[in-house]
Chain A
Amino acid sequence: MRTNDIILQTLAKSFMFVVIAFSFYVFLTGHHHPGGGFIGGLMTSAGIILLLLAFDWKVLKTVIPIDFKILVAIGLLTAVGSGMGSFLFGVPFLTHTFGYFDLPILGKTELATATIFDTGVYLVVVGITMTIIQSIGESE
């Protein structure tokens, strides 16, 4: 018999967004403050796991219909691709650049290509932690 965990489920639903929103913040602020792709990815997975604790894999698969192993490969491809972008400009591998742009709402913002690399790291971390938990959780 399954006990009624309505408090857990309701709280998890709302807190998940807080955790994941904070993880995006930590991820994006990594260039100037503590944070970055690795810790951001770990926190996003923590948010997903919170959902997983309250519900089960079936729910998670309808909410996030991604194969996490593919996510790892996409992340790696992003990271390597951001390094290879430098080939187009005839500079050494992994050379990054940045610039200031006027964006709507945000105003003058610094955009760096290193963020693309960090996005790769972020996706790999999310993919790997979720793959590990999934394969341990689903094995009999």
Chain B
Amino acid sequence: MNNLVILPILIPLLTGIILVFFRKNISLQRWISGLSALLTIIVAVMLVQNVFNDGIQILKLSNWEPPFGVVFVADMLSALLVLTTSILSLACVLFAFRSIGIEREKYYFYSFFQFLITGVMGAFLTGDIFNLFVFFEVLLMASYVLLILGGTKIQFNETSKYILVNVISSALFVSAVAYLYSVTGTLNIADLSVKVAEVGQGGLLTVIAILFIIVFGIKGAIFPLYTWLPASYHAPPTVVTAIFGGLLTKVGVYSIMRTSTVIFNHQPEITHQLIGILALLTIILGAIGAVAYWDIKQIIIYNIIIAVGVILFGLSVNTETALEGSLFYLIHDMIIKVALFLLAGAVIVITGTSNIKKMGGLIKHHPLLGWMFFVAAIALVGVPPLSGFVGKLLILQGGFENGNYLGSAIVLISSLLVLYSMMKIFMNVFWRETVLSKEDEKGSTKGLLLPCAILVVLSIAYGVGSEWMYQYIEQAVAVLVDPSIYVESVLKE
């Protein structure tokens, strides 16, 4: 019993509720949401240390024994993702103070932001497959509102598509859970792992496994289910795109990781092979998109898709090295994508457009912004000693060791294309002759650079301190490689 496990979910939830009472008092709303984000970080750090010292932490809700009640399970993978989420939530809240605008703040922006974080935290921590669905819905409902809040025409268009896609994928999720329940008779993830191992993963269970890949593939935007993502993410304000890009797709990726390692790990030649092929196609299509566009947001959005492909490729290789790489890259990518979106948001605030052909020479008046973008861009590509390097290195090492030369080559070439797309932004936006004089700028970056700086520094520290991070990642991957650790700690009594 450890009530610490519930706190990362409970704090944002309570904050979101309390904020409803203070709709008109915006400065109070800001204070509360900022302080709660700080508190969540403290709790998340405690949780990580707790898991590191004492192993997997379990909370049996209502004091019911698993598999009969719902359990919350914090293993190292969940705890690290919870910590990353809490840091990103602080950065995005700080960015929203300056950028979101009073109209949106008055209509419960911070409440829905906190509910989104509640859903993400819950999805990372739960140990029950139906509870996972419920938390998916919590975060999706909040994301619908954040997407449409403001009510511009493009937001209406894109939100209707986004809701349609997600309602369909949620219905598929429920059917997949129903099939799984009728075969195994249980919903607890650890118990499912035992039951699936008992009956052996026959044809029926493999079909269900693939259905889960499709469901989480829609949420996590893998080929060929990613087509809803670029337009939907382009519509809302940048800070919303940032939190979506950093968190929502990664929840899908996390769920694929969890289900394919803990539950459906008996037919890797089918499921992992499928994930691998889809991941490589995702990388290729994402890279084409990233190279094609001249819109700063669109380029970064396609880079999300590439990263999802890279992480899932590491998962499909399914060796310890590659999984470590995947995990390193997952956390790096969450941080750096939010950082890039926030920096792009600052650029859009200054120039008033997201078309990079209409910008130029920003480095003259905004050197800090420019160089932060440069550092974030090469961290994304994976230049040592920045944060993207170790993850990709380990994924490639795993790929080559496993004889998957084609896949590894695609990952390597994709890095080049990512570099090209990021440098295209950097050279067009920050170099060339200055388009806007100091007076012509559409807005000021006051207060916008602090959250970006936090994330860029964090990303550098993550890259430089990867040796120190490695002990945590190693512990997280131990569970992915050997799910019996997870099962035993949940069902031990």
Contact = CB atoms under 8 A, between A and B. Distances in A.
Interface in A69-105: 69-70, 72-73, 76-77, 80, 84, 87, 91-96
Interface residues of A, number: 15
A92 B20 contact: no
B10 A93 contact: yes
Interface in B1-60: 1, 3, 6, 10, 13-14, 17-18, 20-21, 23, 59-60
B152 interface: no
Nearest to A69: B20
Given A84-B10, A91-B1, A93-B3, A77 B63 contact: no
B61 interface: yes
| Main DSSP-derived SS at the B contact region | helix
Given A92-B63, A93-B10, A80 B20 contact: no
Contact of B59 (A72, A76, A92): A92
Contacts of B60: 92
A87 B3 contact: yes
B59 A93 contact: yes
B3 A72 contact: no
Interface residues of B, number: 16
Most chain B CB inside 10 Å of its own CB: which residue of A69, A93, A95: A93
Contacts of A70: 20-21
B17 A92 contact: no
Given A70-B20, A70-B21, A92 B10 contact: no
B117 to A, nearest CB: 15
A94 B17 contact: no
Contacts, number: 39
B185 to A, nearest CB: 24
B249 to A, nearest CB: 28
Contacts of A93: 3, 6, 10, 59, 61-62
A96 B61 CA distance: 10
Contacts of B14: 77, 80
B221 to A, nearest CB: 31
Nearest to B13: A80
A102 B138 CA distance: 41
A36 B121 CA distance: 29
B93 to A, nearest CB: 20
Contacts of A91: 1, 63
Interface string A41-76: 000000000000000000000000000011011001
B62 A94 contact: yes
A66 B74 CA distance: 41
A96 B6 CA distance: 16
A87 to B, nearest CB: 6
Interface of A: 69-70, 72-73, 76-77, 80, 84, 87, 91-96
Across the A-B interface, the 4 shortest Cβ-Cβ residue pairs: A73-B20, A93-B6, A95-B63, A76-B17
9 contacts: A69-B20, A72-B20, A73-B20, A77-B17, A80-B10, A80-B17, A93-B3, A93-B59, A93-B61
Given A70-B20, A77-B14, 20 more contacts: A70-B21, A73-B18, A73-B20, A73-B21, A76-B17, A77-B17, A77-B18, A80-B10, A80-B17, A92-B1, A92-B3, A92-B60, A92-B61, A93-B10, A93-B59, A93-B61, A93-B62, A94-B61, A95-B62, A95-B63
